Every structure is written in structure tokens, then in C-alpha cells.
Amino acid sequence: MTRADVIIVGGGIMGCSIAYHLARRGMRRVVVLERSHIASGATGRCGAGVRMQWGTKPNCLVMKESIRILEGLEQELSYPHGIGFKQKGYLFLAHSKAQLIQFQKNVQLQNSLGIPSEIVSPKDMKRIAPLLDTTGVVGGSYCSKDGHCDPFHTTRAYALAATRLGATLLQYTELQSVTKSAEGTFKLTTSAGEIEAPVLVNAAGAWSGYVASMLGVNLPVYSERHQILVTEQVERVLDPMIISLHEGLYCQQTPDGSFIMGLGDPNEPKGLDQGHSWQFLFAVSKKISRLLPDITGVRILRQWSGLYNMSPDRQAVLGAVDDVPGLYVACGFSGHGFMMAPAVSESMADIILGNTPRVAIDVYGLDRFKNGNLFYEPAVV
Amino acid sequence: MSSDAIICRCEDVLLSDIRRLLDSGLTTFDEVKKFSRCGMGPCQGRTCRSLVLAEIARHRGIRVQDLEPGRFRPPGKSIPISAFLEGGEEQ
């Protein structure tokens, strides 16, 4: 039986970054369990966007801090390859007056928290993104400090920094069962043997509900499939991420020149299906041809899908699980876990160690589902 | 083979890049692909996949046929967005 001080289940951005912050704060035996390889789940399948434009105060504060951290992360983690962080902005399109009014409320909130977003006219939007067809667009919101970050390399940067600080990363190691002993220790059976620790962190993304159920904990989350595609690399013609909540579409051109685009489709299956459909290629092509008609000659290279771990109010579920002392959870990110990890992981590490976190995350606690303090995020694709 | 031989012509990945990643602990084609972009270009790995698998097999001391070949993503051959603008199911 191997002993650890903490075991983190899940080697995505969340598990690797929490491991780094625990190790950096002096925790000695930190173990990350990953069934496949790091960033093989939702992290490595996401749209690679990072933004401060949110509709609820906690998300704005978490993302303002995350982007501040990302600005210096290559140096902090000593990762010479780089993490592909580029601030070329996010442009939200409003297709109706009602939507624009919601954006105005969001921007007012963002500005009050020091986030440099602004309401833009269709004419401004043509200046920010000249290829954008603004037909039917009444306005939008824009923040030039939002942008792109490479999920694979950001996760690897955290994982390597954590292992340099003494953490152990067990890849291709599957969790098979967990029990809690009378002394309060978690005993895990894995494909590579048994391991025990007094603290267990559930950062298993789409599988977090399943991992919790092994301990008899019922998390109010479920998973659903979201599809995405990437094109060949072409000359850089589009700076910001374009988001149309009306079309349920997002599209950005990454620093290497390929376009990444995805849809929020209410008909996608719930559960753990990570397949894909030909219907998606037709649906996304038709939508993108309306917004960016000049890129329809670009060739699609790959399509895939990833799993959003959804919570009832589309907000993360973070912190201690009160019924099971020593158990912590970081899940339910509802499609925006990658971008929130830099700030959330630091706060999670502080909470696990009994410190006061710099960015408060108590509003994301599990107790909100008992006392009814849900806070619905309006700005999600 | 020289260590500056080009393995992935689409993404300019050298044999030495592959070897460095394998030395750092990567063990599968999918990991090499994600962390080097090898096989992510227009040819979708038609040239590099077998070369990388041979290098992984040599590094791990096992036979190529015992390795996971890595995922193949559709559509397999690149298709312009415009080809999807007619037909399909109306959304």
C-alpha cells in the first residue's frame, strides 16, 4: 500500500494545476491519478478560449485573476515551449435588442470589477473583425484582453512543474474503487495497485459524478457532448474569438492560423459519448458561412467532441464535500474549466490546506444546492 | 536516420523533437501528436504516423504491432467548409 498526503483524481488542467499549487505550498506526497494521459479529456478537447466577459460577478473575478496569472505563467512554471497565450480579444454578437441589453448589464458589471470590456456597434465590429458579416447584428461586447491559450501545453506546464516539486503523476492508471476507513483514510484500488491518503480531490471532469458515487456522494452534475472542428492553417485574418449566443456558435483563429469552431446544440446526447456526427459538419458550416462568408473555402481537417460537466446553474462546483471529511471536489465547470483553472486551482489548494484563498470561491460550494443559492450564468455557449 | 530528419512535413517536426518528447516520458502516438503537433497538418499523419510509431516501439523496446496506432479523426481527407453548405439536414 502506497501512502500519499493527497490524491487527485483526474489529470486534466484542474488536477495538474491543483497538484502544482499543493506541492508549491509544501505538501510532500501529492499524487495525480489519470486513466489515460494528461489533457486527454475535456481539457485537450476544448475550444482553447480564455475570457473575462462573464455575466456573474464570481466568474468575472475568477477570470480576471486567471488571465492575470496566464500573462506570467510561462515564467512561473519555467516552460520554455510556451503555452500559446495570445490576447486578441473576444467579440460577443447581439442579434436582438434584448440580447444587447443583457450585454450592457454584463459590461457594466465587468467594468465595475476593473475588466476592460466595452459595448461596440456593428461599425466597430467591422474594424475589429473585418471579415465579419454584421447582417442582423445590432451590436455586441468586446474585450481586447480576452484570448487564446494552448490546453495541451498549459496542462503539461503545470504537470511538469508539479513533478519537479515532488508530485507524482500516475498516467494510464485507472481508479477502480475507493473506500473510507474508520480512521478517515481514503483507500483507493487502482490498475497499478493500492494507494491511500487522508485527502482526496475529485477533479475527474465528465467522470466526477461517477467517482463521487464510489463514496456514496451524489453530485448534482451530469455530462453532455459538445462537438468541435479545426481547419487547415491559413494566413491570419481573424483576431478575436467570435461568439454568437443566438447561433450557439463560437469560432476563433488560433495563433498557428487554423480556425477552431464549435456549437452549443441542445440535442446533443447526455452521458459519456465522445463520438461525433456528420450532421455537425453541415450545421456548423451553414452557421459560419453566415457570419464569416469569406472563410468557406478553408478546408476542415478534423472533428471531435468533448464532454461538458454540467451543473444546474452552469457554474462550477468547488470546495469541500461536507458529508465526507477530507473529500474535495472541483467539477461542474459547464464548458469553461480550462480557462478558470489558473485561479481556481490556487484557491482550491489554499482551501485544502486551511488557508484563506486570494480569490474567494465559496459561492461555488455544494451547499448552494441545499440552501437554494443558485446563480445562473447567462453568458455560456 | 539523422536526428534532424523531418518526420512531419506539415508541421515541421524533426526526429530530434520526437526523441526529446519520448525521453521526457511520453509513450503513445496520441501524446506525441498533441504535444508536438506531429500529424495534425493537412495530410493528417499519412507520412509521419508510421515513422513515429516505429520510433516509439524502438524507444519502448516493443514491437510496432503491439502499440496503439493512435486515433484517426474524421473527415479523414480535408473538405472545404463550402462543401457542406448544401444538403444535409436543415437545422
ipTM of the complex: 0.94
Helices (H), A83-232: 97-112, 122-128, 151-164, 208-213
Which chain A residues have a beta carbon less than 8 Å from that of B81? 231, 285, 288-289, 295-300
Tell me the C-alpha distance between A141 and A175, whole Å.
44
For residue B75, whether the previous peptide bond is cis, meaning omega lies within 30 degrees of 0, is yes
Q: From the CB of residue A119, how many other CB atoms can be counted at a distance below 10 Å?
A: 18
The answer to whether the Cβ–Cβ distance between A281 and B84 falls below 8 Å is yes
Per residue in A164-200, pLDDT (tens digit) is 999 999 999 999 999 999 999 999 999 999 999 999 9
Q: Which residue of A has its CA nearest to B81?
A: A296
Contact at 8 Å (CB) between A259 and A231?
A: yes
Give the β-pairing of A222-233 and A258-263.
antiparallel
Average pLDDT of the residues in A55-65: 97
Domains of chain A: 2-47+151-221+313-371 (3.50.50.60), 86-146+223-308 (3.30.9.10)
Tell me the C-alpha distance between A62 and A137, whole Å.
29
Tell me the C-alpha distance between B38 and A38, whole Å.
17
**What pLDDT is attached to residue B1?**
73
Select from B73, B78, B85 the Cβ nearest to the Cβ of A296. B85
Average pLDDT of the residues in A341-370: 97
Q: For chain B, what is the mean pLDDT?
A: 93
Select from B26, B31, B82 the Cβ nearest to the Cβ of A296. B82
Residue A328, C-beta contacts closer than 8 angstroms, at least 6 positions apart: A199, A200, A201, A202, A319, A320, A321, A348, A351, A352
Per residue in A263-299, pLDDT (tens digit) is 988 889 999 999 999 999 999 999 999 999 999 999 9
Measured between alpha carbons, how far is residue B85 from residues A277, A280, A284, A289 in Å?
16, 12, 9, 8
The answer to whether the Cβ–Cβ distance between A233 and B41 falls below 8 Å is yes
Q: Which residue of B has its CA nearest to A265?
A: B91
Share of chain A above pLDDT 90, in %: 97
* B53 to chain A, closest Cα gap in Å: 17
Q: From A2, A69, A68, select the one nearest A30 (Cα to Cα).
A: A2
The answer to whether the Cβ–Cβ distance between B91 and A282 falls below 8 Å is yes
- The answer to whether residue B90 scores a pLDDT higher than 60 is no
Place of cell 455530462: A223
The answer to whether the Cβ–Cβ distance between B73 and A278 falls below 8 Å is no
Average pLDDT of the residues in B69-87: 93
Question: CA neighbours within 13 Å on the CB side: how many for A171?
Answer: 18
User: Looking at domain B6-76, what is its CATH homologous superfamily?
Assistant: BFD-like [2Fe-2S]-binding domain (1.10.10.1100)
Select from A232, A286, A298 the Cβ nearest to the Cβ of B91. A286
**What pLDDT is attached to residue A173?**
98
Q: Which residue of A has its CA nearest to B37?
A: A152
* B47 to chain A, closest Cα gap in Å: 16
| A279 and chain B in contact, CB less than 8 A | yes
Select from A37, A231, A300 the Cβ nearest to the Cβ of B31. A37
Interface list for B 9-68 with A (CB within 8 A):
26-28, 30-31, 34-35, 37, 40-42, 44
Instruction: Write down the number of H helices and E strands in chain A.
Output: 11, 20
Tell me the C-alpha distance between A113 and A109, whole Å.
7
Disruptive mutation site among B84, B86, B89 for chain A (greatest number of A CBs within 10 Å): B84
The answer to whether the Cβ–Cβ distance between B81 and A37 falls below 8 Å is no
**What pLDDT is attached to residue A379?**
80
Per residue in A224-275, pLDDT (tens digit) is 999 999 999 999 999 999 999 999 999 999 999 999 999 988 889 999 999 9
| A283 and chain B in contact, CB less than 8 A | yes
| A40 and chain B in contact, CB less than 8 A | yes
Select from A37, A300, A302 the Cβ nearest to the Cβ of B81. A300
For residue A222, give the H/E element and its range: strand A222-233
- The answer to whether residue A18 scores a pLDDT higher than 90 is yes
Tell me, rounded to whole angstroms, the distance of Cα B90 from its chain centroid: 34
* B16 to chain A, closest Cα gap in Å: 15
Tell me the C-alpha distance between B61 and B54, whole Å.
10
**What pLDDT is attached to residue A266?**
87
Residue A70, C-beta contacts closer than 8 angstroms, at least 6 positions apart: A50, A83, A85, A149, A154, A342
Q: What is the DSSP string of A291-320?
A: H-GGGTTSEEEEEEEEEEEE-TTS--EEEE
Select from B30, B78, B80 the Cβ nearest to the Cβ of A296. B80
The answer to whether the Cβ–Cβ distance between B81 and A296 falls below 8 Å is yes
The answer to whether the Cβ–Cβ distance between A301 and B44 falls below 8 Å is yes
Considering only residues B2 and A335, tell me which one the structure prediction assigns the higher pLDDT. A335
Average pLDDT of the residues in A56-62: 97
Q: From the CB of residue A157, how many other CB atoms can be counted at a distance below 10 Å?
A: 24
* A315-346 exposure pattern, b = at least 16 Cβ within 10 A, e = fewer: bbbbbbbeebebbbbbbbbbbbbbbbbbbbbb
CA-only gyration radius of chain B, Å: 16
**What pLDDT is attached to residue B86?**
83
The answer to whether the Cβ–Cβ distance between B35 and A152 falls below 8 Å is yes
**What pLDDT is attached to residue B88?**
64
Q: What is the DSSP string of A243-265?
A: EETTTTEEEEE-TTSEEEEEE--
- What's the order of all strands across the beta sheet hosting A186-190? A2-3, A193-197, A186-190, A175-180
Tell me, rounded to whole angstroms, the distance of Cα A166 from its chain centroid: 26
Q: Where are the domains of chain B?
A: 6-76
Own/partner pairs for A116-121, CB < 8 Å, 24+ apart?
A: A116/A143, A116/A144, A116/A145, A117/A52, A117/A53, A117/A141, A117/A142, A117/A143, A118/A142, A118/A143, A120/A91
| A45 and chain B in contact, CB less than 8 A | no
A86 DSSP assignment:
B
**What pLDDT is attached to residue A378?**
85
Per residue in A4-16, pLDDT (tens digit) is 999 999 999 999 9
- The answer to whether residue A136 scores a pLDDT higher than 90 is yes
